[in-house]
Amino acid sequence: MTSDAKALFLRSDEVSDLAEPAEYVDAVRAGYRERGEGAPATPRTTLFSDDPAGMLTGYLAILPETGAMGGYTYAAGFGGRDAHFSLPIFDAESGDPLAVLDGASMNPHKTGAAGAVGVDALARRDASDLAVIGSGAQARGQVRATATVRSFDRVEVYSPTAEHRESFAAEMNDALDATVAAVASSAAAVEGADVVITATDASEPVFDGDLLEDGTHVTAMGQYHPEKNELDATTIERAKYVPDLRERVTKDAGSFINALDEGVVDEDHVHAELGDVVAGTAPGRESPEEITVFDSGGTAIETVAAGYLLYERAKAENRGEEIEFAPASEALTGR
């Protein structure tokens, strides 16, 4: 008789202090390298509800070399007007459940790590000026992670609410070696920037693509819905375009879909997936003058990689509550 499989349930507060930004970046980079070498991953599937308004989203990935597989499922909106994140992780060899994580606190860290991997793969090595549009938790995660892959001298942040951008600048000034300043417009942030990060939920472009100087890299993380287009068609047209997953580009990458609709690019404009660049099967930046874009819509690649890192750390520190899963061979037969 097969015994019940044991796994760890890990609360958000039990994993919030288990890894530093650079450690998330290393784990996520390894996950994308596996993807570039053929690891399977699916783009997000989202079900929308009108009454009450909300969305239920999920995606999957198997990372054989990491030894983990799983899926991220989250509900956002609905009557509670909030979001909840659940991440089950399985052993990629045996299929046994390893953990179930409340993914709330890890979310900005794993997403920030994916953005940082994009910067590391595509931005100029001498990039020293960072522009950030957005000032929420995701923007904080992006900046903290990106600062581990490039040495920035200056960071300019813009968001529409002055109090928010000034608070962000004060916090990041304490956290980073760079000088961090709040600016009064997105144009002021983008001017002279070597790297631009957009971390918003905007439905319209947040800066004018004509303002990008040659050699700039852009990481955009608000491209998770056909009507979400942080980047204008000019930015997409001017850039070497690299998404996290090619399959999602015409489904929910709002800025690319908008550029398609405007007729300035076609589907061949997709250069390669991020995993292909990380694995070395496709070139990244090929000249100092090139403009590059990493479209980070969100995948289970970074989620499973980061979740497994936290699971391993939690297990070593005896954190979490052990839970049992009945094997189907017993549960379905009643034996």
Taking each helix axis as running N to C, give the angle between helix 21-36 and helix 107-122, from 0 to 180 degrees, rounded to the nearest 10: 60
Distance of CA 188 to the CA centre of its chain: 25
Sign of CA dihedral 293, 23, 128, 139: positive
Q: What is the DSSP letter of 161?
A: S
pLDDT level of residue 81 (50, 70, 90 thresholds): confident
Report the pLDDT value the prediction gives residue 228, as an integer from 0 to 100.
Answer: 81
* Residue environment code for 301-324, b if the CB has 16+ CB neighbours within 10 A, otherwise e: bbbbbbbbbbbbbbeeeebbeeee
* Percentage of the chain exceeding pLDDT 70: 99
Residue 166's pLDDT band, with cuts at 50, 70 and 90, is very high
Q: What's 113-295's CATH class? A: alpha beta
User: Rounded to whole angstroms, how far apart are CA atoms 153 and 288?
Assistant: 19
Task: Take residue 54 and report the two structure tokens written for it.
Answer: 């909300």
5-107+300-325 carries CATH number 2.40.50.140: no
pLDDT at 329 over 90: no
The rounded distance, in Å, linking the Cα atoms of 108 and 144 is: 10
Task: Label residue 28 left, alpha or beta by phi (over 0 means left) and psi (-120 to 50 means alpha).
Answer: alpha
| Strand pairing class (195-198; 129-133) | parallel
Helix residue ranges, H only, the chain? 12-15, 21-36, 107-122, 137-146, 162-175, 186-190, 233-238, 249-252, 254-262, 274-279, 300-316, 328-331
Q: Where are the domains of the chain?
A: 5-107+300-325, 113-295
**What is the arrangement of strands in the sheet containing 195-198, beginning at the earlier edge strand?**
179-182, 154-158, 129-133, 195-198, 217-220, 292-295, 240-243
Over 80: is that where the pLDDT of 97 sits? yes
Binned at pLDDT 50, 70 and 90, residue 296 comes out as: very high
Give dist(CA 218, CA 315) in Å, integer: 37
Query: Which pLDDT does position 229 carry in this prediction?
Result: 87
Q: Which of 43, 75, 48 is nearest to 60 (CA)?
A: 43
Averaged pLDDT, 228-257 = 95
Does the pLDDT of residue 68 top 50, yes or no?
A: yes
Q: Is 329 left (phi over 0), alpha (psi -120 to 50) or beta?
A: alpha
Q: What is the pLDDT of residues 121-151, one digit of tens each?
A: 999 999 999 999 999 999 999 999 999 999 9
The pLDDT of residue 2 is: 52
Stretch 51-74: mean pLDDT, rounded?
Answer: 95
Give percent above pLDDT 90 in the chain.
89
Coil, helix or strand for 35? Answer: helix
Half-sphere exposure of residue 245: CA atoms within 13 angstroms, side-chain side:
25
Per the prediction, the chain carries an average pLDDT of 95
Tell me, what DSSP letter sits at residue 3? P
- According to the model, what pLDDT value does residue 23 have? 98
pLDDT band, very low/low/confident/very high, at 1 (cuts 50, 70, 90) = very low
**Which band of pLDDT confidence, cut at 50, 70 and 90, is reported for residue 328?**
confident
Q: Taking 70 as the threshold, does the pLDDT of residue 3 lie above it?
A: no
What is the distance between the alpha carbons of residues 210 and 228, in angstroms, rounded to a whole number?
A: 20
Q: Output the pTM of the full model.
A: 0.95
- Can you tell me the mean pLDDT for 290-313? 97
3-state secondary structure of 142: helix
